[in-house]
Amino acid sequence: MINKLKELRAGGEEEGFTLIELMIVVVIIGILAAIAIPIFANQQKSAISAGLKSDVKNTNTNIATALVKFPTAKVVVGSATGVGGGTGYVGAAGTAAGVTAKTDATFDIAVSDAGTTVAVTTTTTGSGWNSYVVTGTNTAADPTSVTYTASTGKLS
């Protein structure tokens, strides 16, 4: 066995990578990581922002469904934070304090991210169809808030 090792040492070149080659590979990997990490962070913000818009749109769809069940509603209210969401109410009472789950329709508030809050408020005591605003907020998103206004039908 020792003779075989002596033959290998004397007989040919050793194969492998030099220290400089290994250092160049490490530098290239470092450069690629420096480029990829900020791009990944921006993708996360974009994903949270898209989820925020989706939450506001889904909540608005659920409100419209509840308003079909209770077309004379004057008040639309609700709020939820965190994954899963919560329940909001549409009702005939002139103020949000008069809304009760027993006599009025309910709707689901959709929330897809743990840091997201979706709030529904009534802007006037007019018809529920055009008097509410759905606002979604998340400090990690860009933009940090999305608002749907029923009177204009626009998401901003």
Question: How many CA atoms does the CB half-sphere of 65 hold within 13 Å?
Answer: 11
Exposure letters 74-109 (e unless 16+ CB within 10 A, then b):
bbbbbebbeeebeebbbbebeeeeebeeeebbbbbb
The reported pTM is 0.71
Amino acid 150: pLDDT = 85
Amino acid 95: pLDDT = 53
Two structure tokens written together for 50: 């898209």
Q: What is the CA radius of gyration of the chain?
A: 29
Two structure tokens written together for 139: 């400090």
Q: How far apart are CA 45 and CA 68, in angstroms?
A: 35
**pLDDT tens digits in sequence order for the chain, 156 residues long:** 777 767 766 665 667 788 999 999 999 999 999 998 888 878 888 888 899 999 999 999 999 998 888 888 888 888 999 888 888 888 877 555 555 555 678 889 989 888 899 999 888 766 778 888 999 999 888 888 999 888 888 888
